[in-house]
Chains A and B, each alone.
Chain A
Amino acid sequence: MKYFFLLIIMSSFGFMFYKGLKIDPSIVPSNLIDEETPNFQLKKVENYPLFDSKDLLKKEIKIVNFFATWCGPCKIEHPQLMELSSSFRIYGIAKKDNPQNITKWLKSYGNPFDKIGLDNDGISSIEWGVYGLPETFLINKDNKILYKHIGPIMKNDLEKINAFLK
């Protein structure tokens, strides 16, 4: 009997490890895909309208972008956001940043954002499952997340994103 148990335990472990060898663990899809957007609360950045959960209820396709002025890749992505902003509403969430820097940043590079909010303690970023900057979410008209882009949106990513949005 005990040998039988041993056999069962070992073969199931062996099976799982063997199967595991064929899976690439580094591919991590967002858990939030096809889910409704999480609730969040942000701080206002002066002179810019505050972005809050209600904005996502609008019956249209929209983009949520997590960025920070201290983040280098965010600067690389900025022109692409400007381009996207001509056809879609983009909402910005600045992570662990300060309002003066944000104002300076938007004045010198242009403002692609419809509304903006400051996530000072990083809690909203956790709600959205954001672990690095920049990250961008595409949201459909029913407030469900279509796609999550990790890292800066480059020129050649625009096609993929546009395809998604159409």
Chain B
Amino acid sequence: MIAELGVFFLILTLIVSSLGFIGPILKFNENSEVTQIKVSKLAFFCTISSFIILTYCFIISDFSLTIIEKNSNSQLPIIYKITGVWGNHEGSILLWLLVMTFFGFLFSCQRKIDAKFKEKTLNIQNTLIFLISLFILLTSNPFDRNFPPAIDGADLNPLLQDPGLIIHPPFLYLGYVGSSIVFSISIAILILNNNTKEYFEILKPWIFLSWTFLSCGIGLGSWWAYYELGWGGFWFWDPVENASLLPWLTSSALLHTIIISTKKNSLQNWTLFLSIITFLLSLLGTFLVRSGVLVSVHAFANDPKRGVFILLLLLAISAISFVLFLKRSKTFSNKIQINLVSREGAISLNNIFMFTLTFTILLGTVYPLFSNVIFNNKISVGAPFFNSILSPLMIPITLGMMFGPFLRWEKDDMNNLLSRIKILLIILFLVSLTVWYLNYKGPVLSIIFFAFSAWIITSSLFELSNFLSFKPRIILRKIPLRTFSQVSAHIGIALVILGATGTSILRIEQIQFQEINEVITAKNFKVKFLGIKMVEKENYKSQMGIFEIYKNNKYVKTLTPEKRMYNANKQVTTEAAIHSTVFGDLYIAIGDGNTLSKNSWTTRIWFNSFTIWIWIGVLFLVLGGMLSIFRFIKANK
């Protein structure tokens, strides 16, 4: 009965949100802004009620619901019963809708926005909510019943029985779907056809908000894959990963152009274009993930009917927004010439490279599909392609991050710039020498990328040092929050480059049969295998390998990688064990026993250099975003 209430709330969301576009046509209310605000709040209330009901059904293990029967089990720990809500297609689309209504709700609460603009934005947002709830009700209703009800469920996919599932999807969706409000605002600006700075100021914090969530979501996903799932790496260029990277790249570009749009009144059309593209890429990502048109490690169950629906949605939204953009973009183009040697110039140039990167990754991601359809030829585009396009494009992007912040707005002069940063150039030279000296035996590419990372960090710190004044005593002048957030984000990127380079280029890998008491050396660690222990837990049995780790002949700790066999569906998973240090991670996974000798097991031992810095980098990125958001909140008070 309670499940029917969930469906009822979903239908209510659909009906209420339909006022998003019917309202303005019927004009049944003089004060249509108020109507839209009410609609947004009501839609959020209905969706969250429906979501809570679904969560409740999961908690009480109502196996008469198909998705619970397929994705839960009575033995499942309570926390995974809850996270199981979004560990499947139907539930996760409901989470999509929830996040979308949440952003609509937040926007409807924002003050100091002129009524017409607010009404138009919420119009669009509510229309999107209507379309997504229609999608849920027609193709992915989470409250579908099965008959006769099952006695027990099939269990949640063991890979998803992990703390990572608690936070990764919600954050990713906050970022992904957060771009919907950015889209709605941009379309509202286009509809009103009014190129006023005020509207772009309103747009700005939402871009930072969704970007911050998206960075966080992607970072968490990568962390999860590496530490918890034992995939042995942090990024695989899998279509689903790319699908989340694409909107991240365009919204990173957007972060920079919006600054020009609000500060210098130019590039507004480009800002609007990027806002639209970012949301469309999120939708495209959803299409690619949910329709199963590409092969992915994120093997989600798929259904062509859903694919067709999302495709139609994607095409319709793209068509309408592009036509609108083409019609109105003239209003938003200022004929101000941008100097190449200026802050705007550097940002624009960097934007071009970011966009090139986005487009190339998109092409690489969907090309296997196109090749299959057009040439009937199966190909796969993998890491080598993506790495080879990323590497050269990193050069201009790095240079932009290093020198961009030192350029003046509007017009600067090359000589002038050089004299301002001559000390920095000397320091950079010394830093390069140090990097080379520390790693001259390593592969050339690793030296180059380590240098990039060190350069960005150096120039970012140099930027901060400009706020030091040395006379008469060392005093730190007040650093603007804006500078702090920019420096933090740039250092974040530098640290991600450091970690990614160490992990991918300098990795040491050893696979072998390891006898009991045998010692394997990896970098400066010695790994001694002590044997296998059988462990039994609530919902799985496990073979646990016991390894003692020594560094310089001193005992450090014991690592226990596992091979788990889940009771409910007999699925086997590998749990890697990791010893993390700032210089790198020792990563151990166990395989099968040797069929010939009882005392030896397949073991894989890696040493990944600097991996932890990837996530420290992500923290810096997120910190940068949060500082900006904090600044907007303070300014708005």
Contacts and interface: CB of A to CB of B under 8 A. Distances in A.
Nearest to A31: B378
A75 B594 CA distance: 11
Nearest 9 A-B pairs (CB), nearest first? A20-B293, A19-B373, A20-B369, A21-B307, A25-B295, A72-B592, A70-B602, A14-B315, A16-B373
Interface in B568-597: 591-592, 594-596
Nearest to A108: B596
B513 A105 contact: no
Given A6-B323, A17-B287, A17-B311, A23 B304 contact: no
Contacts of B511: 70, 96
Instruction: State the majority secondary structure of interface residues on B.
Output: helix
B373 A10 contact: no
Interface string A64-104: 00000110100100000000000000000000101001001
B372 A20 contact: yes
A54 interface: no
Instruction: State the majority secondary structure of interface residues on A.
Output: helix
Contacts of A101: 513, 594, 596
Given A6-B322, A75-B595, A105-B596, A26 B295 contact: yes
Given A14-B311, A16-B369, A101-B596, A21 B295 contact: no
Interface string B311-324: 10001001100110
Contact of B373 (A23, A26, A75): A23
A20 B602 CA distance: 40
Contact size class for B?
A: 20 to 34
A69 B323 CA distance: 61
B326 A3 contact: yes
19 contacts: A6-B319, A6-B326, A10-B322, A14-B311, A16-B369, A16-B373, A19-B373, A21-B304, A21-B307, A21-B308, A22-B304, A23-B369, A23-B372, A25-B292, A25-B294, A72-B595, A98-B513, A101-B513, A101-B596
Interface in A1-22: 2-3, 6, 10, 13-14, 16-22
B94 to A, nearest CB: 23
Contact size class for A?
A: 20 to 34
B374 interface: yes
Contacts of B370: 16, 20
Contacts of B594: 69-70, 101
A62 to B, nearest CB: 26
Interface in A29-88: 29, 31, 69-70, 72, 75
Q: Which of A3, A17, A75 has the most CB of B within 10 A?
A: A17
A2 B323 CA distance: 9
Contacts of B127: none
A17 B293 CA distance: 8
Nearest to B327: A3
Given A17-B287, A22-B304, A25-B368, A10 B596 contact: no
Nearest to B596: A104
B550 to A, nearest CB: 24
A2 B311 contact: no
B369 A17 contact: yes
Contacts of A70: 511, 513, 591-592, 594, 602
A28 interface: yes
A69 B322 contact: no
A21 B595 contact: no
B588 to A, nearest CB: 16
B573 to A, nearest CB: 16
Contacts of B291: 21
Nearest to B372: A23
A28 B377 CA distance: 10
B42 to A, nearest CB: 34
B282 to A, nearest CB: 16
Contacts of B292: 25
A98 B597 CA distance: 14
Contacts of A3: 323, 326
Contact of B293 (A10, A13, A25, A108): A25
Interface string B499-526: 0000000000001110000000000000
Nearest to A2: B326
A129 to B, nearest CB: 11
Interface in B502-561: 511-513
Contacts of A23: 293, 369, 372-373
A115 to B, nearest CB: 22
B489 to A, nearest CB: 33
B545 to A, nearest CB: 15
A19 B304 CA distance: 11
B339 to A, nearest CB: 28
A34 to B, nearest CB: 14
Q: Which of A6, A10, A21, A31 has the most CB of B within 10 A?
A: A21
A18 B354 CA distance: 29
A20 B323 CA distance: 26
Nearest to A6: B322
B284 to A, nearest CB: 9
Contacts of B513: 69-70, 98, 101
A98 B600 CA distance: 14
B162 to A, nearest CB: 25
Contact of A20 (B319, B373, B380): B373
Contacts of B512: 98
A21 B293 contact: yes
A131 to B, nearest CB: 10
Interface in B439-455: none
Interface string B284-312: 00010001111100000000100110010
A69 B601 CA distance: 11
A21 B311 contact: yes
Contacts of B293: 17, 20-21, 23, 25
